[in-house]
Structure 1
């Protein structure tokens, strides 16, 4: 008996009609989940009463901003990473809310952090939340080309952060 979830995935792949987008989606899921695993190994853990192992993006952003904000400024105009960062910051992912009548809606909620690195942490986790919980990659939510571009840009930033620190890189790839 074929699993209904297997058929759903086949139908989903047919629906997006683009193996490149499917591969990009899978890459983002894998890289993001591995990145969060690496955050935990590196000691970026949320303080909580139950001792649950939850990655702390805020702590990571606070530490990373010490060098990464200056690095962003040093990148030349036209640099692929700089363009990706600018795209995310200028076109941040929307946040999902429950509206009138329990309708799910997406609204623009700017991050108020002064650091671009901290904003990137917020926005990259929001991209993940929209994919995992908000189905933003589905056509029914409007212009999906923007969402695909956000995924691509987020992967460029995550890759940079992985490669930027030898210990982090080692934990990410060898864990």
Structure 2
């Protein structure tokens, strides 16, 4: 089943609400009577410069919605990392060691949608001699649940922290794989799934 269909099953209402709110905050929609296009407008004297924002694929939107909701769910049910007075972060390492996830890597390693994420995991951006460099910090191929979760985070970070332009078809494939990993976790942890679905 496609990741987008799985996400609509678990968090479609969240995704629609999240992105409608997000778009209202981030972009100004100008309607010309025929269609609505997302643009950013900047006033300059008597003129206004209009810059069309890049199109965002369904795979990227799915990952953004699923990842945001998933990390929220982890923190809310106790997979929390951070010291008193510090920033709250989801404890992915603790989560990856849960007994319900013991076989998730073996199960997903047979999934065609996740195969590329395992065999050719994403690199991370590093600074080398004052310039951006792409370094591989994960084993090739990935061979553990923990590293699989790390790869999901790297996919998300690369895309949403400016590591990728988002124009490479591989970006969509990796986003689709990452979303599928997150949704597979929901099938194995009822408490995370309930929180993800808003069943507080």
Do the structures match in fold with TM over 0.5? yes
Structure label with greater radius of gyration: 2
Counterparts in 2 of 1:57 and 1:71: CA distance versus 1, 3 Å: closer
Work out which of the residue numbers 160, 177, 186 in structure 2 matches 1:132: 160
Q: Normalising by structure 1, what TM-score?
A: 0.75
- Name the CA distance, whole Å, in 2 between partners of 1:104 and 1:170: 40
How far the C-alpha of 1:96 sits from its partner, in A, is 0.8
How far the C-alpha of 1:170 sits from its partner, in A, is 0.8
Matched, 1:94 2:94: no
- Name the structure 2 match of 1:117: 145
What count of residue pairs does the alignment treat as equivalent? 154
Structure with more of its chain in helix, by fraction? 1
Structure 1 residues not aligned, in runs of 5+: 14-20
Q: Normalising by structure 2, what TM-score?
A: 0.66
Q: CA RMSD in A?
A: 2.7
Structure with more of its chain in strand, by fraction? 2
SS at match of 1:32: helix
User: C-alpha offsets along residues 61-97 of structure 1, whole Å, 9 cap, x if unaligned?
Assistant: 122xx343435435795xxxx2233321111011111
- Name the CA distance, whole Å, in 2 between partners of 1:49 and 1:166: 28
- Name the CA distance, whole Å, in 2 between partners of 1:38 and 1:25: 20
User: C-alpha offsets along residues 117-139 of structure 1, whole Å, 9 cap, x if unaligned?
Assistant: 10111111111110111341434
- Name the CA distance, whole Å, in 2 between partners of 1:12 and 1:36: 26
SS at match of 1:104: strand
- Name the structure 2 match of 1:105: 133
Structure 2 residues not aligned, in runs of 5+: 1-24, 29-38, 41-50
